[in-house]
């Protein structure tokens, strides 16, 4: 069953929100190679970010932005517990191939479960650590992670239609500003058309729609409709086959 716990009452959620903002504002973590990194709520409320450990630099390089639920991990509905994490087959290998090819991998995830009060940032961080632990067992790592906990139908201070929330491009633009990646040559992979909309709005080269998660035929059609001379769209059954087809790794075919 999906993890889906509603708060007992809105007042309790709001009273805990301040403590959550303080405790989650800045936490130490371990990045690729065991280097210490910082993960933090950059605005103290609903924008969370974990950047590459210094002194790594990705200036001028193309990146692959990834949605999380339904692309890297199985879609369970408001993933708020580490024990519910399950990597999608091939996702770890896809990310590991990108790592070996020197392509920055940036996770950008909407987390409306936080805005709705189903879990908090502490639970999100626990889930994220488990995802990255499991990726590590396959020789893969994420270079950066950005998450948006805002939603227009959220509670309290999180009830905001925020530009970080996809289909807005805010998380991608922030990652580019912080890491120096080249948006014009970068791609995004997602199971919903809104993921690709965010990529197009950020000026990416293209988007990969995958059929895992929510990636049904209707989402595929909506994703393909976003194609333009300035924004390529391709589809794949899953992340691994899509990454190989894009030619972003030595094992992949040349890009068209």
Confidence bin at 178 (pLDDT 50/70/90): very high
Residue 21 resides in a domain: yes
Lowest mean pLDDT among 6-15, 72-81, 130-139, 179-188: 6-15
Phi, psi of 190 (to 5 degrees): -155, 165
Residue-wise over 79-117: b if at least 16 C-beta within 10 A, else e?
A: bbebebbebbebbbbbbbbbbeeebbbbbbbbbbbbbbb
Could you check whether the bond before residue 211 is cis, i.e. omega within 30 degrees of 0?
no
Say how far residue 195 (Cα) sits from the centre of its chain: 10
Q: How much is the average pLDDT of 143-172? A: 98
Catalytic residue among 69, 174, 195, 238: 69
Residue 256 resides in a domain: no
pLDDT at 23: 38
Q: How far apart are CA 128 and CA 72, in angstroms?
A: 11
- Residue 216 a catalytic site member: no
Q: How far apart are CA 253 and CA 198, in angstroms?
A: 26
Given a cut of 50, whether residue 157 has pLDDT beyond it is yes
Confidence bin at 248 (pLDDT 50/70/90): confident
21 vs 17, 87, 245, 246, CA distance in Å?
6, 29, 41, 39
Residue 59 resides in a domain: yes
CB 238 within 8 A of CB 212: yes
Residue 254 resides in a domain: no
Q: How much is the average pLDDT of 99-113? A: 97
Domain CATH code at residue 216: 3.40.50.1000
- For residue 41, the enclosing domain spans 10-246
Residue 89 resides in a domain: yes
Lowest mean pLDDT among 17-31, 83-97, 107-121, 198-212: 17-31
**How does pLDDT run across 7-63, given as a tens digit for each residue?**
333 333 333 343 344 334 555 555 555 545 567 999 999 999 999 887 678 999 999
Given a cut of 80, whether residue 228 has pLDDT beyond it is yes
Total number of domains in the chain: 1
- Per the prediction, the chain carries an average pLDDT of 87
pLDDT at 33: 52
> CA angle at residue 197 from 196 to 198, to 5 degrees?
90
**How does pLDDT run across 117-134, given as a tens digit for each residue?**
999 999 999 999 999 999
199 vs 11, 34, 221, 236, CA distance in Å?
37, 30, 16, 17
Q: How much is the average pLDDT of 123-152? A: 98
CB 63 within 8 A of CB 103: yes
Residue 255 resides in a domain: no
pLDDT at 229: 97
Confidence bin at 156 (pLDDT 50/70/90): very high
Nearest residue to 236 via CA among 193, 189, 199 = 189
Q: How far apart are CA 237 and CA 215, in angstroms?
A: 9
Residue-wise over 219-242: b if at least 16 C-beta within 10 A, else e?
A: bbeebeebeeeebbbbbbebbbbb
Q: What percent of the chain has pLDDT over 70?
A: 82
Confidence bin at 180 (pLDDT 50/70/90): very high
pLDDT at 52: 86
pLDDT at 21: 41
- Residue 238 a catalytic site member: no
The alpha carbons of the chain give a radius of gyration, in whole angstroms, of 17
């Amino acid at each position: 069953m999906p993890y889906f716990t509603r708060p007992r009452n809105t007042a309790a959620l709001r009273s805990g929100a301040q403590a959550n903002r303080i405790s989650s504002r800045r936490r130490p973590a371990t990045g690729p190679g065991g280097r210490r990194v910082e993960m933090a709520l950059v605005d103290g409320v609903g924008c969370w970010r974990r950047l590459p450990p210094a002194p790594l630099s990705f200036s001028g390089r193309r990146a692959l932005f990834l949605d999380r639920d339904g692309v890297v991990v199985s879609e369970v509905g408001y993933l708020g517990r580490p024990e519910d994490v399950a990597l999608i087959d091939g996702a770890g290998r896809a990310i590991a191939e990108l790592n070996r090819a020197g392509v920055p991998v940036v996770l950008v995830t909407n987390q409306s479960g936080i805005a709705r009060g189903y879990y908090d940032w502490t639970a999100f961080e626990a889930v994220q650590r488990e995802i990255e632990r499991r990726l590590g067992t396959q020789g893969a790592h994420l270079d950066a992670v950005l998450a948006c906990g805002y939603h227009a139908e959220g509670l309290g201070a999180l009830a905001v239609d925020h530009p970080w929330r996809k289909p807005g491009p805010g998380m991608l633009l922030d990652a580019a500003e912080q890491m120096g990646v080249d948006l014009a040559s970068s791609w995004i992979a997602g199971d919903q058309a809104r993921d690709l909309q965010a990529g197009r709005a950020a000026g990416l080269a293209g988007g990969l729609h995958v059929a895992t998660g929510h990636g049904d035929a209707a989402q595929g059609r909506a994703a393909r409709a976003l194609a333009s001379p300035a924004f390529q769209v391709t589809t794949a059954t899953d992340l691994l086959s899509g990454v190989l087809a894009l030619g972003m790794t030595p094992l992949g075919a040349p890009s068209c």
